[in-house]
A and B are shown apart, each in its own frame.
Chain A
Amino acid sequence: MKKSKLFAIIGGLGIATLSIFLISADHIDAPAVAGTKADITDFYAFQGSNSSNFVFAANVQGLLTPGTPTEQATFDETILIEFNIDYNNDLKEDLVIQAIKRGDSMYFFGPSAPAFSGTEGTKSTIATSAPNSVKISTTTDVQIADKNGMKFFAGPREDPFFFDFNQYNAILAGTATGFDNPGDDTFAGTNVLSVVVEFPKSMLPNAIAGVNPYAPNTPIYNVWVETKRKQ
């Protein structure tokens, strides 16, 4: 296939139907959530600096510019941020870690079994167990809670996502034929609101192997994040 043809197709599609194609990892990925306090921009899950721990991080409300927009950005008390964990590869959440703002703090529940799972999993109620909490950080006051073997953070952070989105738009628009090297990080200098939790792997049942064909012997969890609004 000739590249010129490929570009023509991409360009045409880009303008016609994919106008926000690949704007970022998940920032403003769909009309209904774009610009709302429920808009997830990114989700990370990795082994902590202590290899006995997992770290889950969810970012919401992307593209905050420094200064007032970042300082005035707030979490919403009606938006539940929920980390989902499936340990038996049926794609249904077996455990959730829930986070929601009350007053000046973020309250965390779990990991615990959710009230609803699978096809019912679009719906949630908050666990009745005692929460852990952390005061929500500001741009100048960084708060970390270390409670019950877990660590908690909520507040503004530099957006860890990096991508030459402007050049991608130029490619889609047909005014460029490819990326530059080096490119220019469109997300440089912008912030997000982050929720980060680190917890011992021992809080989870063992995962199962055979999930990832590129690591067939490694037990793998399926994990994802959701935002849910109080009805």
Chain B
Amino acid sequence: MKTFKYIYLFAAITTSLLFVQCKDEDDNVIINATCSDGILNGDETDIDCGGPDCLLCGEVLDFSGTFIQEDQMGRPGINTVFGTTGFKNAFNVTVPSEMQAAFQSKFQTNLLALNPGYTTNALPNGGLDAATFTTVLSNDVLWLAQSGITTYFNGTEILTGRTLSDDVIDVSLLLIFGGPGGTDNPTLTSDGVPTNDVAFLNTFPYMAGPF
């Protein structure tokens, strides 16, 4: 699969860039007094309470109550791409084990609306036809490998996690528009933005500081 080779090259280049760019924030992590460190410090009036930052002393943290689902996300862009008016809200409040029954056929309709020429895609072993592809996607969970490389796609590994630098949009566009060889509709299979606008951190919390 030639396209995959190019993506692999791209991934290799962009990955290498990650190691030469580094925000100076890396070395600037400050551990301050907090309202939960178990000692009287900062402006606290007693251990972890009082002062301008912490809860009032004597106030017990209340974690009671029932919480009801409002939004859900496994893989990137699933609801935005395959959801349409009328069931986007419903999708967000559905549990994964019930998604396929409720949404697979709707996803398939929308896939074929987006790309009426869809037959199969560039995934290995002949790709996935519309029904199989939308079955996988309608179960909106992210696969995460217990061991080894975790990536949405890096040219070799496929759907073993999602890192910050994965170009998930290009993967999605390629699989929706690229056809079995990944070569169909070439102006629709990459958005030309292969990397983030700033470099990520190599250590926790990995995401770069805000602008």
User: Residues of A with Cβ closer than 8 Å to B?
Assistant: 1, 3, 5-6, 9-10, 13, 17-18, 20-27, 29-33, 36, 38-40, 42-49, 54-55, 57-58, 64, 66, 70, 79-80, 82, 86, 90-92, 100, 102-105, 107, 109, 118-119, 121-126, 131, 133-135, 139, 141-145, 151, 153, 156-158, 160-164, 167-168, 171, 177-185, 187-191, 194, 196, 198, 201, 204, 206-207, 211-215, 218-231
Contacts and interface: CB of A to CB of B under 8 A. Distances in A.
A63 B83 CA distance: 21
B28 A25 contact: no
A162 B95 CA distance: 27
B142 interface: yes
Judged by DSSP, the binding face of B is: loop
Contacts of B162: 43-46
A220 B145 contact: yes
A162 B199 CA distance: 12
Of all A-B residue pairs in the complex, the 7 with the closest CB atoms, nearest first, are A178-B187, A183-B192, A30-B88, A228-B67, A188-B197, A133-B36, A1-B117
Contact of B67 (A105, A125, A139, A180): A125
Interface in B111-140: 113-117, 123-125, 139-140
A104 B33 CA distance: 11
12 contacts: A3-B187, A6-B115, A90-B97, A92-B95, A104-B35, A123-B69, A125-B67, A201-B147, A204-B146, A218-B146, A221-B143, A224-B72
B39 interface: no
Nearest to A80: B67
Contacts of B115: 6
Contacts of B192: 164, 167, 179-183
Contacts of B89: 30-33
Given A29-B92, A143-B31, A224-B72, 20 more contacts: A1-B117, A6-B185, A26-B73, A30-B91, A32-B89, A45-B161, A47-B150, A49-B202, A86-B96, A105-B36, A144-B205, A178-B186, A178-B187, A180-B192, A181-B192, A182-B192, A185-B193, A201-B147, A222-B143, A227-B72
A207 B29 CA distance: 34
A160 B98 contact: no
Given A29-B80, A135-B32, A164-B192, A144 B204 contact: yes
A57 B62 CA distance: 25
Given A6-B185, A163-B169, A70 B32 contact: no
B81 to A, nearest CB: 5
A73 to B, nearest CB: 9
A27 B65 CA distance: 27
Interface of B: 25, 28-32, 34-36, 53-55, 61-74, 76-81, 83-85, 88-89, 91-99, 113-117, 123-125, 139-151, 157-164, 167-169, 185-188, 190-193, 195-198, 200, 202-211
A178 B188 contact: yes
A153 B201 CA distance: 14
Contacts, number: 364
Contacts of B161: 45-47
Contacts of B25: 142
Given A32-B89, A135-B34, A144-B29, A91 B72 contact: no
B62 to A, nearest CB: 8
A191 B210 contact: yes
Contact of B160 (A187, A204, A212, A229): A212
A190 B211 contact: yes
Contacts of A107: 36, 61, 63
B148 A164 contact: no
A156 B205 CA distance: 11
Contacts of A20: 80
Contacts of A48: 204
B209 A226 contact: no
B191 A183 contact: yes
B210 to A, nearest CB: 4
Given A40-B72, A102-B55, A230 B66 contact: yes
